[in-house]
Chains A and B, each alone.
Chain A
Amino acid sequence: MAQELQIVVCAGIVPDPLQTLEPVTGPNGPGLKNEIVLPAVLDPWAACALYEAAQLVAKNPGSKLWLVSLGPKAKLQQVMMTVGQKAAFELVPVDGPIGGFPDAHSTAAALAEAIAALPGLDRERLLLFGGWESATRGAGVTLQLVGERLGISDQFQGVDQITLRDDGSFEVLERVEGGRHQVSVCAGTPAVLGWATGNLAEPRNNPQTGMANMRGIMPALQKAKAVTLAANGLRYVSVNLPKQQRETRIEKNMTADEIARELVEWIGAE
């Protein structure tokens, strides 16, 4: 039986993973060199959350999907040109700093405030989605804090699957140690789900979806509320790019037998 879901996805933007990153320290603390001009993408795990949410909404007529994203307006616009073609959503932009160094607690406060102010949101029916960690800070903290601030006491992290049931309850698979999933059944919304990879491939770009989304995205970006993020006593003692270069020995002329013998010796006794 279809349910009318209200799904809010929190998703930040991150530098394209193929870019070279170089930390620099400015007057406001650490950041990345040329951060504002680095090509950006939607945070990968949060993107999985968005695609899972979009599929749930598509399967449940009458449902609604919001995408709440904190970042500089110009970067958000750039990323949404692509993301907007993959899923239908209402963008709720929050104009703020980019990157992994701002404090997660301040980020969560800004996101929770934006979600709480969403017109038409029924918090009793809310499914709050996001990535279980970001590709910038990678702390796995923000989403839980948003949930806690919104008073949601059913939270799941490292989620790979949600299965809705007819009675409004749902089963969740969460990643736990040793390559296993913990299976839980929640009585119903509201709940927080921090997604890992999920099971869906990245949707293909759909220009029609993109056109429909952009009609709402551009006005939303123009009205985006600006926030500053407090440091909350967080101090960076040092920020470094560790040397990663190894002296690589490249073997082009060894036979398979020779390589196998060398590998077995290297592997040693397990």
Chain B
Amino acid sequence: METILVLTHVDETGSALTKASLEAVSAGVELAKQHTAKLTIGVLGAASAEAATVAASAVAATGARLLAISGEGFAQPRYATDAAGCEALCRAAQASIVLAPGSSRFVRVAAGVAHRLGGFLDTHITSLSSNDGVDATRWFYRQRVEATISREARPWFLLLDAGTHAAFEGESGAAQVEAVAVTLPAARTTVEGLRSPMRDAQTIRPNARLLFVAGAGWTKKQPDGQIHVAEAGELILAFLRLSGASLGSSKSLADQKAEGPGEEQSVLPFLTHMNQIGQTGATPRHAKGLSTCCHGEEPHVVGWRFIGERRAISLDPNCGWTRGKADVVYVADAFQVMAKVNSLLEARSS
């Protein structure tokens, strides 16, 4: 019989669980129900026992055993302390299956924790199913091949991709939280904070319904024989402001540097490699995606696996998007179309 631990962590407020953690809790509740298994939820990252109790109150309605590791040493995500904390939670829970959100915090430490416990880890899990055992689905080769896997070895750690399960919603209640003690190793790493690389605006918006992807065509010569990079930047930023979309980029555009000696910034200054979508970029989840000035070849499109409806604007009637990779392709000048789109959105918002 399986015993299930869901590892969670607090968000930047320090006293609430992240959305991805609540999604993992949903998955854990469902799996525990299917296997009539004992469920434990572990909370990591709170600076104090009080904050951990407040965070755990959001999942008190699960009826699960609640464990928490708290203290100043866990207030910042860091390998040495987080790995020690997760290891202690796992040893206290004695779980055969450990679920956790695939957040940057847990992605950093989960493999090390699994190794310390003699277990095995699989990541980027998109769904769980039960028969005699537990099956997990994930993608290989950058979202090109899908596989369902199972393991006999325990403990089995599974990191769940964000957005694949509904976040747990239950009435907050008084949480009976068991504090787990841990001896921390000497920390050689100091976390100094977060830095946003964007100069003008936060253009990466994971919760947006629409992904807007800009390709290198925005920086190419236009029908008048000139390049219009500044205009391209204005059009793109205006669209992001008016639509609330998240900005993605092809690698070829993100790679382009502005001209001039010693110039290191991107040709579009608000664009960084963090915006990159595709083979060497992100694979975000959005309901809709609009590609502009991008060829739509396979290295681009592998980053679009989890985009629901896809449309593209391209001057090339034979671009990759037309070969069954988008729902609609407009063979048109993106400069003209996006200027009109922005006017309509502006009118609508006013």
Establish whether residues A263 and B188, one from each chain, have CB atoms under 8 Å apart when the complex forms: no
- Known A138-B141, A145-B111, A246-B325; contact A18-B298, beta-carbon cutoff 8 A: yes
Which of A75-83, A119-127, A194-202, A216-224 forms contacts with chain B? A194-202
Least distance between B152 CB and chain A CB atoms (Å): 4
Establish whether residues B202 and A236, one from each chain, have CB atoms under 8 Å apart when the complex forms: no
Partner of B120, one of A144, A179, A234, A261: A234
Partner of A251, one of B110, B273, B329: B329
A-side contacts of B86, CB under 8 Å:
none
- Known A154-B79, A252-B317, A267-B243; contact A185-B112, beta-carbon cutoff 8 A: no
A-side contacts of B331, CB under 8 Å:
250-252
Q: Give chain B interface residues in 323-350, CB to chain A under 8 Å.
A: 323-333, 336-337, 339-341, 343-345, 348
Establish whether residues A183 and B191, one from each chain, have CB atoms under 8 Å apart when the complex forms: yes
Partner of A248, one of B110, B273, B324: B324
Partner of A17, one of B104, B142, B317: B142
A-side contacts of B322, CB under 8 Å:
248, 250
A-side contacts of B330, CB under 8 Å:
251, 254, 259, 263
Q: Main SS of the interface on chain B?
A: mixed
Establish whether residues B337 and A259, one from each chain, have CB atoms under 8 Å apart when the complex forms: yes
Counting contact residues on chain B (CB < 8 A from A), the size range is: 35 or more
Establish whether residues A154 and B111, one from each chain, have CB atoms under 8 Å apart when the complex forms: no
Of the listed residues A21, A173, A198, the one surrounded by the most CB atoms of chain B closer than 10 A to its CB is: A21
Establish whether residues B192 and A184, one from each chain, have CB atoms under 8 Å apart when the complex forms: yes
Counting contact residues on chain A (CB < 8 A from B), the size range is: 35 or more
Establish whether residues B150 and A237, one from each chain, have CB atoms under 8 Å apart when the complex forms: yes
Establish whether residues B196 and A180, one from each chain, have CB atoms under 8 Å apart when the complex forms: yes
B63 within 8 A of A: no
Least distance between B318 CB and chain A CB atoms (Å): 10
Establish whether residues B147 and A185, one from each chain, have CB atoms under 8 Å apart when the complex forms: no
Establish whether residues A256 and B340, one from each chain, have CB atoms under 8 Å apart when the complex forms: yes
Interface string of A159-174 (1 = CB under 8 A from B): 0100000000001011
Establish whether residues B209 and A179, one from each chain, have CB atoms under 8 Å apart when the complex forms: no
- Known A157-B108, A186-B188; contact A17-B302, beta-carbon cutoff 8 A: yes
Establish whether residues B348 and A264, one from each chain, have CB atoms under 8 Å apart when the complex forms: yes
Establish whether residues B189 and A196, one from each chain, have CB atoms under 8 Å apart when the complex forms: no
Establish whether residues A236 and B329, one from each chain, have CB atoms under 8 Å apart when the complex forms: no
B-side contacts of A186, CB under 8 Å:
188-189
Establish whether residues A148 and B116, one from each chain, have CB atoms under 8 Å apart when the complex forms: yes
A81 to B208, CA, bound (A): 44
A171 to B190, CA, bound (A): 9
A240 to B337, CA, bound (A): 38
Partner of B310, one of A141, A246, A256: A246
B-side contacts of A232, CB under 8 Å:
120, 151, 153
A249 to B328, CA, bound (A): 5
Establish whether residues A237 and B188, one from each chain, have CB atoms under 8 Å apart when the complex forms: no
Q: Give chain A interface residues in 171-191, CB to chain B under 8 Å.
A: 171, 173-188
A-side contacts of B254, CB under 8 Å:
197
Establish whether residues A263 and B341, one from each chain, have CB atoms under 8 Å apart when the complex forms: yes
B-side contacts of A252, CB under 8 Å:
317, 331
Chain A residue nearest to B329 (CB atoms) is: A250
Q: Give chain A interface residues in 102-159, CB to chain B under 8 Å.
A: 103-105, 135-142, 144-145, 147-149, 153-158
A-side contacts of B193, CB under 8 Å:
182-183
A32 to B255, CA, bound (A): 31
Establish whether residues A44 and B280, one from each chain, have CB atoms under 8 Å apart when the complex forms: yes
Chain A residue nearest to B331 (CB atoms) is: A252
- Known A17-B142, A250-B329; contact A237-B149, beta-carbon cutoff 8 A: yes
A18 to B141, CA, bound (A): 12
Which of B22-30, B121-129, B173-181 forms contacts with chain A? B121-129
Establish whether residues A148 and B111, one from each chain, have CB atoms under 8 Å apart when the complex forms: yes
Establish whether residues B145 and A239, one from each chain, have CB atoms under 8 Å apart when the complex forms: yes
Chain A residue nearest to B104 (CB atoms) is: A176
Establish whether residues A180 and B195, one from each chain, have CB atoms under 8 Å apart when the complex forms: yes
- Known A148-B116, A266-B311; contact A184-B78, beta-carbon cutoff 8 A: yes
Of the listed residues A137, A173, A182, the one surrounded by the most CB atoms of chain B closer than 10 A to its CB is: A182
A235 within 8 A of B: yes
B203 within 8 A of A: yes
Establish whether residues A187 and B279, one from each chain, have CB atoms under 8 Å apart when the complex forms: no
- Known A105-B120, A181-B197, A270-B208; contact A30-B337, beta-carbon cutoff 8 A: no
B299 within 8 A of A: yes
Partner of B324, one of A246, A251, A254, A263: A246
Establish whether residues A139 and B122, one from each chain, have CB atoms under 8 Å apart when the complex forms: yes
Establish whether residues A246 and B192, one from each chain, have CB atoms under 8 Å apart when the complex forms: no
Q: Give chain B interface residues in 96-124, CB to chain A under 8 Å.
A: 103-105, 107-112, 115-116, 120-124
Establish whether residues B326 and A256, one from each chain, have CB atoms under 8 Å apart when the complex forms: no
B-side contacts of A267, CB under 8 Å:
210, 243, 245, 288, 290, 345
- B interface with A by C-beta (< 8 Å): 77-80, 83, 103-105, 107-112, 115-116, 120-124, 135, 139-142, 144-153, 185, 188-198, 202-206, 208-210, 243-245, 254-255, 264, 273-276, 279-281, 288, 290, 297-299, 302, 309-311, 313, 317, 321-333, 336-337, 339-341, 343-345, 348
- A interface with B by C-beta (< 8 Å): 14-15, 17-18, 21, 23, 30, 32, 44-45, 48, 100-101, 103-105, 135-142, 144-145, 147-149, 153-158, 160, 171, 173-188, 196-199, 201, 232-242, 244-252, 254, 256-257, 259-261, 263-264, 266-268, 270
Query: Could you give 20 example pairs across A and B, Cβ below 8 Å?
Result: A21-B145, A45-B280, A139-B123, A144-B110, A148-B111, A153-B185, A157-B107, A171-B192, A174-B108, A176-B104, A180-B196, A183-B195, A199-B264, A235-B152, A237-B147, A240-B147, A247-B324, A249-B329, A263-B290, A270-B243
